[in-house]
Homo-oligomer: A and B are copies of this chain.
Amino acid sequence: MAGRAGLTAQKLIQAGAEMADDLGFEQVTLSALARRFDVKVASLYSHLKNSEDLKVRLALLALDELANCAGEAIAGRSGKDALFALANAYRHYGQAHPGRFVAARYPLSDEIAAASSGVKLSRMLGALLRAYGLADAEQTHAIRFLGSVFLGYTTLESAGGFAHGDVAAQASWERTLAVLDLSLRHWPPSSAAV
């Protein structure tokens, strides 16, 4: 490798991730990144395709870190224990890395999403569900349900949705986890009405 600043896509993404957590995902621009490395903006195009590419790679990084955290959390656990561990890992990642967490929700194309660690997360949920003994046909539904709750709750919480300071968010979270476990243990038959 050559050059004077020793840039790398890796370094740029990493710096972008830190910048996202510090200043917010929307503040992570090519210009800001160039300033950070004391380099001209055009120079970044040797390492990144464009601005969109930067955001996508940040999303992929965040999804990967999230999947790793979740993976470590559920290691050696199963059933309710695994469910709670994964859920807590998910939530804690969002609290520790708010910018990356927003990045993880950046819309990806179908192909890119299919190759991302998002599918790892999805598979972990599937594996975790086996302990609950759901019918095969219900697996996908349950995975979607869990994903919805995790995404929705953490989004609301990180956006200050219910940070009124009054009722403890921690208590709501615990109730949410209990409800998830209860739902999976009593998963409804496919006769549900609209």
Contact surface of A with B, Cβ cutoff 8 Å: 84, 88, 105, 107, 110, 113, 138, 140-142, 144-145, 147-153, 155-156, 159-162, 167, 171-172, 174-179, 182-183, 186-188, 190, 192-194
Contacts and interface: CB of A to CB of B under 8 A. Distances in A.
A192 B178 contact: yes
A194 B156 CA distance: 20
Give the oligomeric copy count.
2
A113 to B, nearest CB: 8
A84 B167 CA distance: 26
Nearest to A122: B162
A144 B153 contact: yes
A156 B151 contact: yes
A149 B151 CA distance: 8
